[in-house]
Structure 1
Amino acid sequence: MIEAYFDGASAGNPGPSGAGVFINANGQVERFCIPLPEMSNHEAEFHAFIAALEICLEKGYKTVSFRTDSELVNRAIEKEFVKNKAYAPLFEKALSLTNQFDLFFLKWIPSRENKNADELARKAIQQAK
């Protein structure tokens, strides 16, 4: 099974932001740094998730376990509901993408287990500045 780790980060809240996606495709590692415009950290987390979903779909990965340290994203997808309406468009887009997978899993992990994606997100912030 493919494992995709993602993280969003902002330098300020809001501030220049970035998304990091780290994919382990059966031992083959892929890394993505995605610079984002100025936004909040929570928005960056949703953008990182959407990027991870889109990358996996583009590569034809249809059975994927996604990993995040964002409790907000994890809870929103798990409950299929987002409380803050400001995140609703991002949530809806992410939810629609999850339906395109044959098997989709999302698991919350502690930050220490998401270091690769975090480093990529921070690198993307530097690219965004």
Structure 2
Amino acid sequence: MIEIYIDGASSGNPGPSGAGIFIKGLSTGPETYSVPIGIMTNHEAEYLALIHGLTICIEKGYKVVSFRTDSQLVEQAVEKEYVKKNLYQPLLQQVLFLKDELDLFFIKWIPSSQNKNADELARKAIQMNR
């Protein structure tokens, strides 16, 4: 199974933001992505990291995937298919639509200490906004 570690980061809240995606479990070795995503809050950046990760999986034909995030907010929203704040509703709907394109999708919360690769990629992406 392919594991996708994701992280969103913002410099300020809101501020310049980035998404980091670290994909492992491929026969060709890991894939890394740093995606600048403009000005937004940290929570929005976390959702965008998941959306970009899902999009990459769909484009590359990765059908059985397990996502890892250090954002409990995102993990719980996806698991429950519900979010309180209206601001995040369109982002959650996009995630739910994209995940249905996959054969098997898992999402799991992990501590930040286990998500260093994705965190570094997200911080690098912040700098790419400037």
Could you state the TM-score of these two structures normalised by the residue count of structure 1? 0.98
Could you tell me how far 1:66 is from its partner in structure 2?
0.4
Matches within 5 A, 1:58-77: 58-77=59-78
Listed one character per residue, the Cα deviations across residues 91-126 of structure 1 (whole Å, up to 9, x for unaligned) are 100011111111110000000000000000000001
1:26: Cα distance to partner? 2.9
Provide Cα deviations, 1:35-68, integer angstroms capped at 9, x if missing partner. 0111000000000000000001111000000000
Structure 1: which amino acid aligns with 2:65?
Answer: V
Structure 1 equivalent of residue 19 of structure 2: 19
How far apart are the structure 2 equivalents of 1:49 and 1:82? 15
Give unpaired runs (5+ residues) of structure 2: none
Letter in structure 2 aligned against 1:2: I
One-letter amino acid of the counterpart of residue 69, structure 1: D
Give 1:7's aligned residue.
7
- Please state if 1:44 is matched with 2:45: yes
Counterpart of 2:32 in structure 1 is 31
Runs of at least 4 residues off by over 2 Å = none
The alignment partner of 1:32 has SS state of strand
* Residues in 1 aligned to 2:96 and 2:109: alpha-carbon distance in whole angstroms: 16
The sequence identity of aligned pairs, in percent, is: 61
Q: TM-score, normalised by structure 2?
A: 0.97
Are 2:124 and 1:127 aligned?
no
SS at match of 1:73: helix
Distance 1:82 1:76 in 2: 5
Runs of at least 5 residues in structure 1 that lack an aligned partner in the other structure: none
- Which amino acid letter does the alignment assign opposite residue 70 of structure 2? D
Report how many aligned residue pairs link the two structures: 129
Amino acid at match of 1:75: Q
Alignment RMSD, CA only? Answer: 0.7
**Structure 1 residues 105-124: aligned runs within 5 Å:** 105-124=106-125
